[in-house]
Chain A
């Protein structure tokens, strides 16, 4: 009854492919589709997508006076990637002051700004980065004030030079999403699942965006937005044809951490009505994913957070091959260059409390599911992993010496006071392998979250936020910056959409 997820997935891919084919062929009919003269429904603000950005926009639009706010979600479940992700949120500070509580050194918006630009190889739009770092902390406080509970943890993840990775106390991204949904629901926003956008209506080539064509369980409907349309529909990681059209190396052989709905067709519709897009080829691989299906599960979290506490990563020969604290594109490229799937993140018993108060339970659960392997000694661990124990012992011995000397002559890993010695077991290992994770490129927006056209002029009544946009992260997104982006820019888009005159 109704659509099942396979139908949705198929239709998403098919529609994406069809739209791509249409545009590639330069079929003017597609671009010249005339807006309807009669609308099936009229609302104030129409939001596409129900992840961080979509729900933050809904919460913010209703809080700023928009009466009739509708969130359209094409999948049968709400939340997109946001509800299944790890939940890392990069902010230099928050009212929880976790960095200070754990005595993890200094940080500032300036440092976060510089890390983000460096992490993106300076391809980033500095104006957008400025908005992110200046508002991440207040966005986190907005969530805390509305009920988000944070994990008793503050981490430093790849590419960041400070401890600024905040996580919800339970359930990864769900910890924020449940609260954002409560905020959106409380404001009166209406979330509709199984509602798939099939076109964006714009009045003429230089006119405002009017509304959307939507495939609903009851058939096709045209919905008018009196104030604005906000796109928060995410990336295109699961659309192999689309990602290969931007980066041919990312074949179907790559796993993908995303939920199946990230098929990117909304980006194509936006381009078709004149929106500009940029840096679409910057598609990030997540080094830490579960190797079989590419999931970011609870145990992959140890590989994300581990390096900040001294975790090291080895290949199947038992050798290190990268600076574990390097940014994601570097680590992923090094993993692929090992030529042998998978690689292993190794941590010790002593690090576990630093991963949060429930980490011990997660480790036990990971072991019972076969995702985490334990060894009382390094030799025992190597045996459990089926890799040469003499080499792994030598690797560990060397690393202990490097840590004592405070210098890693092989890969240049920076040692910090938070990192723990590796000379004492028991030891644990979590297999990891890169999977397509995040589309850094997307629609071009300005700091007000307005979508820009090919002449860099805002398209009236048209906003976008989150992974559907591009330019903020440059060539490589730092961990925790996307969650912060979704909430920060979703919040801005919602407020600006609400402020439009109906």
Chain B
């Protein structure tokens, strides 16, 4: 009996401790929102389905969006099919896709706590040049991955930024209206 009660006490104390810690975290989160709003944290420990861990309270999901708990990238396409106006292509910083697809920070960065930009060779360990070229073969007016200047050798990061808005690098000279994921 005594030992059970002691266990209950310990559990109760632990529960209180969790509440206190959670409150502290929330308050700290609230206090840091002014910073977090413009620049979400890039926490190496964050899980893709837990938006709040980086975004704090300013989760950029629309009201009424279903919870992302345990969701994977493939689950998104049910409601956001490619080619549809709801498609997320070009709208979501690309590392979200990678995390939702099961990758971690370490998949790209050798040291996630002190990350350096990975070389394109890292991207090409999963994406192959020929497959990328074929995937965009029908894009008009020209295949963005078949540059007459650089062929298939362009740095992926010229256009596809993981932690910022991707850009259409070609548009500095050309009138190509590419949607860049």
* Interface set of B (CB-CB < 8 Å, partner A): 117, 141, 148-150, 154-155, 157-158, 161-164, 167, 169, 172-175
Contacts and interface: CB of A to CB of B under 8 A. Distances in A.
Interface in A268-316: 292-293, 295, 297-298
A260 B158 contact: no
A172 interface: yes
Q: Which 8 A-B pairs have the closest CB atoms?
A: A1-B117, A2-B117, A83-B149, A171-B148, A369-B141, A174-B149, A295-B173, A84-B149
Given A1-B117, A171-B148, A77 B173 contact: no
A354 interface: no
Contact of B174 (A76, A83, A193, A295): A295
Contacts of A84: 149, 173
Interface of A is mostly: loop
B174 A171 contact: no
Interface of B is mostly: loop
Interface residues of A, number: 25
B173 A5 contact: no
Nearest to A173: B149
Interface string A141-177: 0000000000000000000000000000011101000
A1 B148 contact: no
B115 to A, nearest CB: 8
A207 interface: no
A2 B157 CA distance: 9
B154 A77 contact: yes
A5 B158 contact: yes
Contacts of A217: 117
A474 interface: no
Nearest to A371: B141
29 contacts: A1-B161, A1-B163, A2-B117, A2-B157, A4-B164, A4-B167, A5-B158, A5-B167, A6-B167, A76-B158, A77-B149, A77-B150, A77-B158, A79-B149, A84-B149, A84-B173, A171-B148, A171-B149, A174-B150, A193-B155, A217-B117, A259-B173, A293-B173, A293-B174, A293-B175, A295-B173, A295-B174, A368-B141, A369-B141
Contacts of B150: 77, 79, 83, 174
A385 B52 CA distance: 57
A299 B167 CA distance: 26
A77 B148 contact: no
Contacts of B148: 170-172, 174, 298
